[in-house]
Amino acid sequence: MSSGQQVLIELRKMIISGEIAGGSRLAEIPTAEMLGVSRQPIRMAFRLLEQEGLLVKNPTRGYTVREISSKLVHDALHVRGVLEGLAAKTLAEKGMTIDQHQTLLNCITQIDSIFNKPELTSDDLETYHHYNTIFHNTIIQGSDNIAIVQALSKNNQLPMASAQALTYDKNNALSEIRRLQYAHIQHCSIFNALKQQDSARAESLMREHSHVVTLGETMRSIFHTDGSI
């Protein structure tokens, strides 16, 4: 994985987890020193995180971390699920082309290969990110619905709404691997529904899939509960 991608994932995780608090001001040089990298990957990460709605560019210099609530993330993921669900339903009703079938199958095959070992490397995360993006884009573009494409593009500007907003917490590696494996299994089920032209199931699975980004936090909240109902 490139240093830029590693920096992007690390900063995204730090903002989402609250390690870098909302309202904090970020500048290139201090952030580069904090992460032990050059300014170039920091500059690239800042621009992408601004596009994702996690940073707000200051009028003078640097960025401010956006205040993020769980409701904002939930609402953005819900809208993404509705839109991507509609895209999957539309594609299932039309039926996949040979190229779409092969592209989605290749994405599943490539991602499956990274789970044949107990730990994920930076290269494995790069592979996941690359083919996960292609998988989602193939379904979205396959709907041939410009309204869906434009609505998703707008929604992707909200925190954690984009399929490209990959997070991975090395401090919780086991639960993170489980989360990505679960997402992979969902991909397989979505592909199968599309293949069978089961539009209702394709839509339902795609809606559920949008919330996999919060699955790790959901699992931690369940296992740290005091047992009350």
Report the alpha-carbon distance of residue 157 to residue 103 in Å, rounded: 26
Question: Of 133 and 218, which is predicted with more confidence?
Answer: 133
Q: What is the pLDDT of residue 2?
A: 63
pLDDT bracket for residue 172 (50, 70, 90): confident
* CB contact at 8 A, 201 and 88: no
Q: What is the pLDDT of residue 4?
A: 78
Judge whether residue 224 has pLDDT over 80.
no
pLDDT bracket for residue 118 (50, 70, 90): confident
Report the alpha-carbon distance of residue 148 to residue 140 in Å, rounded: 8
Q: What is the pLDDT of residue 216?
A: 58
Judge whether residue 74 has pLDDT over 70.
yes
Other residues' Cβ atoms within 10 Å of the Cβ of residue 14? 17
Helix crossing, 173-195 with 98-112: angle to 10°? 160
Nearest to 194 by CA among 176, 211, 206, 207: 206
Helix (H) or strand (E) holding 64: strand 63-65
pTM across the whole model: 0.85
**pLDDT tens, 176-220?**
899 999 999 999 999 999 999 999 999 999 999 999 887 656 555
Q: What is the pLDDT of residue 155?
A: 94
What average pLDDT does range 57-74 have in this prediction?
A: 90
What share of the chain has pLDDT > 90, as a percent? 64
In the block, tokens 């394709």 appear at 202
pLDDT bracket for residue 50 (50, 70, 90): very high
Q: What is the pLDDT of residue 218?
A: 59
- Angle, alpha carbons 10-31-170 (nearest 5°): 20
Domains and CATH numbers, the chain: 3-65 (1.10.10.10), 70-223 (1.20.120.530)
Report the alpha-carbon distance of residue 209 to residue 119 in Å, rounded: 23
In the block, tokens 């397989």 appear at 188
Give the lowest-confidence range in 61-65, 165-169, 176-180.
165-169
Both tokens of 207, joined, read: 């809606």
Give the lowest-confidence range in 110-124, 130-144, 183-197.
110-124
pLDDT bracket for residue 81 (50, 70, 90): very high
Judge whether residue 48 has pLDDT over 70.
yes
| Sign of the alpha-carbon dihedral angle for 199, 203, 204, 208 | positive
> What's the start-to-end Cα distance of the chain, in Å?
43
